[in-house]
Structure 1
Amino acid sequence: MTQIRITHIGGPTALLEIGGWRILTDPTFDPPGRRYAFGWGTSSRKTTGPAVSLSDLPPVDAVLLSHDHHGDNLDVAGRTMLPGAGTVITTVAAVRRLGHGEGLRPWATTELRATGRPTVTVTATPARHGPPLSRPIAGAVIGFVLQWPGQERGALWISGDTVLFRGVREVARRFDIGTALLHLGAVRFPVTGPLYYSMTARQALRVCRRIRPATAIPVHYEGWQHFSQGRETVERHFAGEHGDLGERLHWLTPGTPAELTV
């Protein structure tokens, strides 16, 4: 088994330290208070700032960017750090807009290689940022599966902003997932009524029933007005589950590194 360190910075942003690698997910470092437009009449205000400032962030070897076109996944400050972040792995559409990075389509892979460090294989996983037929509006999003030598509990999966759909179920079929970082929050907007644009607590429970991770880590469920479900709702759904899935939930304290065995 190997040890990794995860620091939840806020929202979808987490620093993963794996065998000498520093890998950052969805950089968001803007202060709270600003309202961000997401297109088609939708918007949201950021209510909580990052637990680690950009100036205190250590050098980053790679960024896993699920998508670039929403300010709660890549904000103004986050964009400033991308040119010095080493490898940026994201969607094909994001590479076109950003002008740099490595674009992956779902199920495509790439590798992080460096002398003295384990080779990390990164596989892009499908994500759908909303209800059926919403992809032309919500845009392309991917998640990521990370694999490296020495994993005994399974791969690490970062879901990205997605609802439960066939592509997410396929992740469970293709991979043995040991650690899952799940983007939750049940995003909703007044203009589209009851429709959800990220996983609900009920969907997260169904995902975990399928993948049976050793550790499930909720992220991206707080700090923005457009979230309709928080920690209490997630815990309530998992507490009513037969078996030990509730015990596999691992809540990170923003800014505080957590050591995990994988």
Structure 2
Amino acid sequence: MSKRNRYVTSPPAENFDGVLFANPGHPGTDRSMRDVFRWQRERRVPWPKRIEVEGTVPERRVCGLRATMVGHATVLIQSAGLNVLTDPVWSERAGPCGYIGRRRTTAPGIAFANLPPIDVILLSHNHYDHLDLPSLKRLHERYAPIIITPLGNETIVRRAVPDAKVVTGNWGSSFDLANGVTVDIVPANHWSARGLRDRRMALWSGFMLRTRAGLIYFAGDTAYGTGAIFRDMRAAYGRPDLALIPIGAYAPRWFMAPQHVDPAEAVLIMRSLEARKAAGIHWGTFRLTDEPWDEPPRLLARALTSHGMSPACFEALWPGQAVNVATE
């Protein structure tokens, strides 16, 4: 019996064979059970059980460009009066239910009750540390934001939130919002799955968000690969004023390199995009892989030094920390 995609009925495309999505020109991301068992047998560095966070209360609206770290890949972007959340996760665990999955090491840097009105959610892919249905339900009940996501993820969201305002598309899709705001779905070198039988049936992506206050790139999850997708983004969209780039969940490299950048590769993404400012995300909240908890910022600083770059141009964001970007 032929395999059927449970999320998407779109026609085939360069990155879609009618059943599964792929990363054209990039090494395969699928891993065998043998690979998984080998990884799990390797020595793992323990993380702290809990690290205290001093949360912040953001302003209701911001005229310029500001990004505040909530935790992991969840960032509040405030730009030209628009409030945007990336991959919102307020749950205590990243998993299919409240008692399964990786527990948070750090509390959210913005308490849910302290959020300003949310206009838009950028949802990059369906892994549990990025697509958290309980958080999406709470946000819909309180704000009913527009959710922009790549193909297939709308099916998952609408099963839990039937009246969610979801718009979806493939890489290259562009959406015009109010007040001159545009959101473009851009490629990422990654994969997707919610269970054992839906691997690569929903698409993954990054985003370019353009407002009157500047251009913001949110990477979601990605590997670097040849760097071609990032150089192509630079040519297509211009220089981002702010790039939100993952710097964690990279070890061991033999397992993770096709799907997650390490800090040195995160710097290469910044340089390929020629971003004016970058912020390191996707580290220190959920222990997903094997690197020590505090290693990503240290390796990021080392990589910046090796390129002769100032540490101020690419900071590893801590929950509750905000970065303000002056744009031209």
TM range (shorter): 0.7 to 0.9
Note if 1:127 corresponds to 2:201. no
Give the residue type in structure 2 aligned to 1:74: L
Q: Is there any run of 5+ residues in structure 1 with no aligned partner, and where?
A: 38-42, 131-135
Does the 8 A contact of 2:80 with 2:212 survive in 1?
A: no
Does the 8 A contact of 1:82 with 1:88 survive in 2? Answer: no
Aligned-pair CA distance for 1:72: 1.1
Contact preservation (8 Å) 2:71, 2:318: no
What residue in structure 2 maps to residue 235 of structure 1? 301
Q: Aligned match of 1:27 in 72, 85, 88?
A: 88
1:259 Cα deviation from its structure 2 partner: 2.3
1:187/1:52 CA distance change after superposition, 3 Å: same
Determine the C-alpha separation between the residues in 2 that align with 1:230 and 1:251.
8
Q: Write the distance in 2 (CA, Å) between the matches of 1:17 and 1:150.
A: 9
Q: Work out whether residues 51 and 255 of structure 1, in 8 Å CA contact, stay in contact via their aligned partners in 2.
A: yes
One-letter amino acid of the counterpart of residue 92, structure 1 = L
Report the counterpart of residue 236 of structure 2 in structure 1: 174
**Could you tell me how far 1:51 is from its partner in structure 2?**
1.5
Match of 2:207 among 144, 149, 161: 144
Are residues 71 and 78 of structure 1, via their aligned partners in 2, closer, same or farther at CA, if it must alter by over 3 Å? same
1:219 CA drift (Å): 0.8
Q: Which secondary structure does the structure 1 equivalent of 2:256 belong to?
A: coil
> Which stretches of structure 1, 4 residues or longer, exceed 6 Å deviation after superposition?
none
CA contact 1:186–1:201 (8 Å) conserved in 2: no
1:89-238 alignment runs, 5 A limit: 89-99=148-158, 100=164, 101-113=166-178, 118-129=179-190, 137=199, 139-149=202-212, 151=214, 155-165=215-225, 166-176=228-238, 177-188=240-251, 194-196=255-257, 197-227=259-289, 228=291, 229-238=295-304
Tell me by how many angstroms 1:184 deviates: 2.3
Q: Which structure has the larger Rg?
A: 2
What fraction of aligned residue pairs are identical, expressed as a percent?
24
Contact 2:183 2:209 survives alignment (8 Å): yes
Backbone CA RMSD of aligned residues: 2.7
User: For 1:206 and 1:36, how far apart are their aligned partners in 2?
Assistant: 31
Cross-structure match for 2:58: none
Aligned to 1:64: 122
Paired positions, count: 240
Letter in 2 for 1:9: V
Which of the residues 60, 70, 79 maps onto 1:18? 79
CA drift of 1:149 comes to 3.3
Query: Could you tell me how far apart the structure 2 residues matched to 1:44 and 1:226 are?
Result: 7
What TM-score results when the alignment is normalised by the length of structure 2? 0.66
